[in-house]
Amino acid sequence: MTTQTRHVRIALVQQRWHPDPKKHVAALRRSAHRAAEQNAQLIALQELTLHRYFGDVMDRALFALAEPLGDGPTSALCCALARETGAFIVGSLFERAGDSSHPRYFNTAVVFDPRGNLCGFTRKQHIPSGTGYEETFYFEPGDSDYPVHDLGFIRLAIPTCYDQWFPELARIYALKGAELIVYPTAIGSEPNYPSFDTQPQWRTVMLGHAIANGVFIAAVNRTGREAMVTFYGSSFVCDPTGRILAQAPRSRPAVVVADLDFSVMAFWRALFPLLKQRQPATYRALLDPSQSA
């Protein structure tokens, strides 16, 4: 792949949750086809693509939503959309792994190729716990070891939502060769602090990851109110200089399309060769679990 002359078009499908499953799937399908009509090569869907964001409650009955990797309703939808659109599809599901005697549960992002084949997955590493976001009740931390998926036209990383806040993760992906980090997301209001809007901080921390690591970053959030959380949309794509290439509104569904120009990555990494100028021998404190605020 020639970095200097390469261009890739991606799309983010920002959608609200529809209580009627058929309407929800239809809305996602319409948006994915809109993205394909604009020649998107990669189309990304929101966290827990098919479901209401259920992290606001702790309910054992909701474990019935978990599905095996590559063999469940979310995988079936992503497979179908990939075939229909001719694009790579990134989705997100509540994964059931292990066996019946020792089941394991993860929040997992998946990518399907245009033939409908599962070609990569990544289990969410950082799991939030707090009012409105009680995810540790459902998911264990991922064990994927930060994979980078080579799709032929781009090297892709697909961590999920809360992983956005951790600079170590973005750095690892960049060192492993990721060019684009896509975060399927479900984030919005803080029920304990309803007057505090975290959207600016959420976006800014990811812009910092892009700049510090010389990568493209995309976050595809949901929108609308679900129980106690109002999701703030604002899905966006930025380039390695932190420039916003495209952004969705806060309060309505949207299809965000952006063109990634890899000459920008080459320019920025030459101007600020941060990955080459690290001094990892001095970073021992990062590996010391006792070093916490």
**Beta-carbon count within 10 A of 251 CB:** 15
Half-sphere exposure of 90 (CA within 13 A, CB side): 33
Is 161 a known active-site residue? yes
| Angstrom distance (rounded) from CA 268 to CA 204 | 18
d(CA 181, CA 159): 7
Write down the catalytic residue from 47, 67, 95, 179: 47
Instruction: Answer for the pair 258, 246: CB distance below 8 angstroms, yes or no.
Output: yes
Residue 180 is given by DSSP the state: E
Active site residue 134: no
Q: Is residue 84 among the annotated active site residues?
A: no
Active-site residue, selected from the candidate residues 78, 119, 161, 238: 161
Task: Please name which of 244, 233, 219 lies closest in space to residue 189, comparing C-alpha atoms.
Answer: 233
User: What's phi and psi for 220, nearest 5 deg?
Assistant: -115, 105
Closest CA to 42 of 75, 12, 3: 12
Q: Find the catalytic residue in 95, 119, 124, 135.
A: 124
Active site members: 47, 124, 161
